[in-house]
Structure 1
Amino acid sequence: MTDATDQHTDQQIEPHIELGSADVLYRDDALIAVAKPPGLVSQATPDPRRDHLLAAVTRYLMRVDGTIAPAPVLVHRLDRDTSGVVVLSLHPDAHGALGEAFRSREARKTYLAVVATAARTVATDEAWTIDNHLRVDRKAKTQRRVQAVRSGGDRAITDVRVLAVADGAALIEAR
């Protein structure tokens, strides 16, 4: 992945992310799975100068295939500061099926995180469940934000397991 800047404007813009073949983890006629780096939003924001993953995938397909027909469509998103695999559909039929798989939770997402353990010690293979309710923060004016609420909102259950512990940090898996 490389950065390319726009030389045709006087406005300060973020560097464009240029995906390379190593960033494409899987591709067939129906979908493409890419590695999203931290710091990059998944889709366009109100700021047209901010680069995003969908634009980077579109540029990649144009560079590699010479076309973007049909245009890629995000099946799900990752937060700006989260790195990981993002799936985009390349065919309208695939978009509906993949979208439904994520909505119905048939597609399972697994996150790995390194966390500080200063507040409490944890042991390898320790596990617990976080049962929460989330809703869109209506007070957020510039971005779509989700917040935990005591009632209402969508139920969010996350199973957490400690994979390794070392030097005041733990590697955890969250599903």
Structure 2
Amino acid sequence: MTTPEEIAARLLYRDGMMLVIDKPAGLAVHAGPPKDRQGGGHLMDLLDGLRFGLPRAPELAHRLDRDTSGCLVLGRHRKALARLGELFASGQVEKVYWAVVVGDPPTDAGTIDKPLKKLEKRHGWRMIVDAGGQPSVTDWRVLGRNGRLSWIEARPRTGRTHQIRVHLASQGWPIVGDSVYGRGTADLVSPHLHLHARQITMPFAKNKPPVTVQAPVPTHMHALLTACGYQEE
């Protein structure tokens, strides 16, 4: 189980308004409905050690899926959370994800513009492409490939739940380790989801340059990224 000390050691950026941490894969950011819980704690229980002298622990400015690793932004107080909320809601935050997918895209870059809708089922839910869903747009480009797998950089313009996972799978390139949208193909390559929030850029202060933070490649993604041409920095 992840400890508060381990989370503190994953701090990537800190100023008076916000923090950015490198969220480990497998850690939920908050407690979900009882039927969705997989045991163990969640990130909100581990943030007290990130107060750094302030009276309250920081809070989430946005979310990452349980099995997605990388850059996660926290607001240190109410004013900061309000400003961050505006930036995320208006699409001013630039998010860059790295994914390893099963498949070989026919071109080196493109845009996926497919609306997404939540489909409720008796035993759970999932997101689907549906004309009646919310507008969802993801820009992508191939950073490397080996014929069977591809290393993709995805830049979502919108922030729908599971957006990158659904969009890439809808193209026939499910993310390695995705047991929901890649069942029977991508989840057989590795049991670990190969989706990483690589970089985030926030124009927090109007009179200062945007803050850009990058998270290191997680251990579980090294082997397949290397197979697609990634070289250790």
TM-score by length of 1: 0.74
1:22 Cα deviation (Å)?
Answer: 3.7
Are the aligned partners of 1:134 and 1:149 in contact in 2 as well (CA < 8 Å)? yes
Does 2:132 correspond to 1:169?
A: no
Distance 1:28 1:133, change over 3 A: same
User: Greater share of helix residues, 1 or 2?
Assistant: 2
Q: How does 1:2-13 map to 2 (within 5 A)?
A: none
TM-score by length of 2: 0.57
Find the residue that maps to 1:155 and give its secondary structure: coil
Find the residue that maps to 1:29 and give its secondary structure: coil
One-letter amino acid matched to 1:41: A
Are the aligned partners of 1:122 and 1:162 in contact in 2 as well (CA < 8 Å)? no
Which of 42, 62, 84 is the matching residue for 2:29? 42
User: Greater share of strand residues, 1 or 2?
Assistant: 1
Q: CA RMSD in A?
A: 2.5
Q: Distance in 2 between matches of 1:156 and 1:148?
A: 11
Are the aligned partners of 1:134 and 1:146 in contact in 2 as well (CA < 8 Å)? no
One-letter amino acid matched to 1:34: I
Q: Which residue of 1 aligns with 2:59?
A: 73
Q: Distance in 1 between matches of 2:41 and 2:154?
A: 28
1:85 Cα deviation (Å)?
Answer: 0.6
Which of 18, 27, 32 is the matching residue for 2:19? 32
Structure 1 unaligned segments of length 5 or more: list them: 1-14
Q: Which residue of 1 aligns with 2:224?
A: none
How many residues are matched? 151
- Report percent identity of matched pairs: 38
Q: Which residue of 1 aligns with 2:184?
A: none
Are the aligned partners of 2:112 and 2:137 in contact in 1 as well (CA < 8 Å)? yes
Q: Which residue of 1 aligns with 2:220?
A: none
The one of the two structures with greater contact order (alpha-carbon pairs below 8 A, sep at least 6) is: 2
One-letter amino acid matched to 2:55: A
1:45 Cα deviation (Å)?
Answer: 2.3
Are the aligned partners of 1:122 and 1:165 in contact in 2 as well (CA < 8 Å)? no
Cα offsets for 1:42-98 (capped at 9, x unmatched): 11224585311222223x226xx4x66223111111111111110010011110110
